[in-house]
Amino acid sequence: MYKKSISLVLAGAFLALGSSLAAAAPDWSKVPKTDLHVFHPGVAPLEWVQGKGEHSGASGLKKGEACAGCHIEDGKLSLDLKRLASKEMEPKGAPKTMTYPVGVQAAYDATNLYLRLTFKAPAGGADHSDKDNDLKATVMFPNDKVPMGDQVGCWATCHKDARTMPGADEKKTKHVSAGAYDLMQWRSGNGGKASDGMVSDKRNMDGGKAGVTAEASKAGDVWTVTFTRKLAGGVNLVPGKAVPFGIAIHADNAAGRFHHVSFGHKLGLGADGDVKAVKQ
């Protein structure tokens, strides 16, 4: 009986060790960094993006083209920032910093994806209504049932009736007409907290299936936010394939639409992508 107890203890110790090794963070010094630029979108919901006469790229979307194909050139944004900063596109007032880079690094193992964001979060926004959180960093992955999910990034969740849009219902959250997004978020309030959520007919900050954890640190004015999630989630991440994703950063206590967002990008797990995840 004594020997059996020792064996069980040792077996448990080895299992715990194996689990910790499987979830060990990568050596980030060996993982390449790609700068993706985020920008303030103002009151430009999906309906505006698809509207004739409002957005010249609407016809391209109907043909299956992606937003990034028109608006990113040589890794840099190609946008009419003056229009985005106008009263037409941001009636409350545009932030002082309209766009900035986010360094993205990614790695994976047999179980998990590790995603690291590094950026300087700007001050000078027009909205400071999230009193609890100086910063929120969010990454979203659409499944293949989201209409245009692989073309528009997170934009499929952004609608004119969502809260903080002019005249909209303050109880209405992000939503999609079909399919769902995996949502992972880190927010700074109360010492920092991670959310493992999803967006379907409404946004749910909890109840996701990806087992998301996150941590963050700040050195001077530079934030580093590191996410860990299972490859198997609501959206399955498969080695050898690329998956669409998008980033949103709420800085300076911003809420709702007063964030900076990326266009839709591709994350390649051992495959081509705008960001290539390294196998560790």
- pLDDT of 24: 76
In a domain, residue 157? The reply is yes
- pLDDT of 2: 41
- pLDDT of 224: 98
Domain that holds residue 70: 36-273
Query: Residue-wise pLDDT tens for the chain (280 aa)?
Result: 444 444 434 444 444 444 444 457 899 999 999 999 999 999 999 999 998 777 888 889 999 999 999 999 998 999 999 999 999 999 999 999 999 999 999 999 999 999 999 999 999 999 999 999 999 999 999 999 999 999 999 999 999 999 999 999 999 999 999 999 999 999 999 999 999 999 999 999 999 999 999 999 999 999 999 999 999 999 999 999 999 999 999 999 999 999 999 999 999 999 999 999 999 9
In a domain, residue 79? The reply is yes
- pLDDT of 58: 87
What is the domain count for the chain? 1
- pLDDT of 51: 86
- pLDDT of 23: 59
In a domain, residue 216? The reply is yes
In a domain, residue 58? The reply is yes
In a domain, residue 134? The reply is yes
* CATH number of the domain that residue 213 is part of: 2.60.40
In a domain, residue 280? The reply is no
In a domain, residue 29? The reply is no
In a domain, residue 25? The reply is no
Q: What three-state secondary structure class fits 114?
A: strand
CA 228 to chain centre: 13
Paired residues of 138 in beta bridges:
185, 248
DSSP characters over 183-240: EEEEE-GGG-EEEEEEESSSEESS--SS--EEEEEEETTEEEEEEEEESSSSS---TT
Place of tokens 């963070």: 25
